[in-house]
A and B are shown apart, each in its own frame.
Chain A
């Protein structure tokens, strides 16, 4: 009987740990990751600033759509210019698509003219699972008090065609503009589209 209760509690905790995906309105779970320059970043250190988390895999056709069209870089430049912290996170496991060494990461960043605050390496997939990130690109917007205010897709055109960027409704832009203006995000949750995050197992 006792073991049954224990195993149930263990299961409940496990289940809770598995489904800790932060929903809009909830506290963003804290984490520490090293970036492509070897520098360590802790989410809670950015308190007071608006933070964007962007799951990244340059091999994914959906990510390519937003980088080849210059859409993602434009967003990164515009909002880092407005004192927003933009963290691109690579959760691909070693040997899987999107995984790169620090040097390769920086080289690709230069080639693509990407302008995030930092590209964080998450090869264990710990932070990816902490946020229950399923696809690339998948985006989270966290406000100055550390609350998730947006989670989901970059825009409403589910495709791999760069031509679809024009005319699409950009949910991240909308969430950032509203948050920076001190307003409530009108569409705090959408369904992200893209390639699966390439976790180890």
Chain B
């Protein structure tokens, strides 16, 4: 009964168009809310229901017909957005007359912004004209009124109708598949690639009086690919809607481009300038210095500076520059790799290296050997000792060491996508090689800044403690954070490939340790030739067993499946649903609000956010009360679907958080990368006053 009353409130009286006693069109004005909440936007829809066989028209009617109009007369202070047109259908009449039209029913939606108002009720007036056609065409029009109460809170209304048609409104975002435009003698070819699961593609052009766009034959999609031929005079630029059917129809606004474009080439926002992004990149690079996985190496470097403080100024400057050179070498090398892979068409994303268990394994080996070196198991020729020899050779070796440390510091920094870095990289990945180089250079510069400063002003190193015997203890102590880093890498390997992979990686590392010990104990300048020979044999054997058998054989055989068996897809107390685009779209179509969390086990920021801001009692309770579906996109292992989804929002890294309010399938809220419980609660619309003290 209550529902009926509400319905009566939220739908205007019907206006019917009749022709020779037959009802052709029923028009009504509907709202998506039970009441106006001052300051909160809501939507008004023009709902047209056509008699069977009759149709009304899209914004570009095609060869004949006329677009429906939907004008709103708004009270003072209210503002309405443009009309959102759902995807039309292509109807073909005799004589190859093609029209873009709606059969049965359509909802044209406009978003209305409500001001702060004292009124208790607000009345909206809509005027609409349309042309309804079967074999013949009849113009129709209606004036519709809808009164809505003003209230501090409101419930969704007509949700089914709004959800159904807003899902059909073309998205302004890039589609989740690759598009390629090429000019032809008669217009354009629009090629679709990697549209997995899609069956059919169609193109509806926007009207262009200067260069009329002809009709595009719909195309079946096979193996995710299709090509649409769009005829247009003089091969003028075209804009329109690409419709793809993969069980459900979805549309994207597309525009012809002379260059090849892929989903990753869409930039977020587009207003933030190049220099701002470079600044963000540099700032992000600087913050990378403070990341827990970099800190041990940084401390080592500081330790290096301290040792060199007694050397000549020019030597210090050289070491500093070598270290900085290492940082730049890594970032620019990474940029080169990214550009190479990008042009090879691969999906390349920030921290993508950590999605490869082999990458983690190798980094783990390096970190472990470094730790053993600090513990004193073996020693590489130290710059200090070398300095006692030929001065030139000594400084050369030292510089190489500084250079390597620069590389290592940055190598360890990549998994921690610092704040700003996500946005900056999202921008950079969408750009030309030159810009990618500039961006990575900016990050390198930001990270190198403190060392450059110390190298240029070695005097400031006075503030650092004096060298002494304690340095040896400090050096040994530094091995422990490195060992902890190894633990973290092993944890990631475990998440990727299961417990077995961790065991085999560790066994491999043990063999490496044995080899390192043999090297340190028996290959020194004081050992006899006999000892050296045995030691070399032992090293070869343990490397063979460690790398060849444990790593190359057993570790290589572990699979993702093992990891999934050993770790359930749960990350805490919230019952997360694993992400898939199909599942997400289904939930959104049902009108459910969805919180989508993009995470990875190698992402420390993600873990921190989860622990402190998401998986908390208040958020859990809020999600449950408001029926918000928590969905987890786990990017620990490479997952093209998640990569594409991130790319649609201009992101190439995690963490990333989206909230889809009920009925807003095309317009999710983007949360910041660093979360607090308050931010999460506010973003998903859980207000504090629900928790009474």
Q: A interface vs B, CB < 8 Å?
A: 18, 59-62, 93, 96-97, 125, 128-129, 134-135, 156, 158-161, 189-191, 193-201
Contacts and interface: CB of A to CB of B under 8 A. Distances in A.
Contact of A195 (B94, B129, B137, B233): B137
Interface of A is mostly: loop
A190 B97 CA distance: 17
A125 B95 contact: yes
Interface in B132-151: 133, 135-139
B95 A128 contact: yes
A196 B66 contact: no
A195 B212 CA distance: 18
B66 A134 contact: no
B93 interface: yes
Give me the 4 closest cross-chain CB pairs, A-B, nearest first: A199-B95, A199-B94, A196-B64, A160-B139
Contacts of B207: 191
A199 B67 CA distance: 22
Contacts of B209: 156, 190-191
Given A60-B136, A160-B139, A196-B63, 13 more contacts: A18-B96, A129-B95, A135-B63, A135-B64, A159-B66, A160-B131, A190-B209, A191-B212, A193-B64, A194-B64, A195-B136, A197-B97, A201-B94
A198 B137 contact: no
B297 interface: no
A158 B66 contact: yes
Contacts of B133: 195-196
Contacts of A161: 129, 139
A122 to B, nearest CB: 12
A150 B139 CA distance: 28
A125 B137 CA distance: 19
Contacts of A160: 66, 131, 139
Contacts of B95: 125, 128-129, 134, 196-197, 199
Nearest to A134: B63
Contacts of A198: 94, 135-136
B136 A59 contact: yes
Contacts of A197: 95, 97
Q: Which of A128, A134, A159 has its CB near the most chain B CB atoms (within 10 A)?
A: A134
Contacts of A135: 63-64, 97
Interface string B108-145: 00000000000000000000010101011111000000
A34 B99 CA distance: 31
A156 B210 CA distance: 12
A97 B93 CA distance: 14
A65 to B, nearest CB: 9
B138 A61 contact: yes
Interface in B59-86: 61, 63-67
Q: Which of B94, B133, B138 has its CB near the most chain A CB atoms (within 10 A)?
A: B94
Interface string B448-489: 000000000000000000000000000000000000000000
Given A125-B95, A200-B94, A201-B94, A193 B135 contact: no
Contacts of B139: 61, 160-161
Contact of B135 (A96, A134, A158): A96
Contacts of B233: 189
A200 B139 CA distance: 23
Contacts of A159: 66, 129
B97 A97 contact: no
Interface string B90-109: 00011111010000000000
A134 B94 contact: no
Nearest to B60: A191
Contacts of A18: 96
Contacts of B93: 196, 199
Contacts of B66: 62, 158-160, 193
A55 B137 CA distance: 16
26 contacts: A18-B96, A60-B136, A61-B131, A61-B137, A61-B139, A93-B94, A125-B95, A129-B95, A135-B64, A156-B209, A158-B67, A159-B129, A160-B131, A189-B233, A191-B207, A195-B65, A195-B133, A195-B136, A196-B95, A196-B97, A196-B133, A197-B95, A198-B94, A198-B135, A199-B93, A200-B94
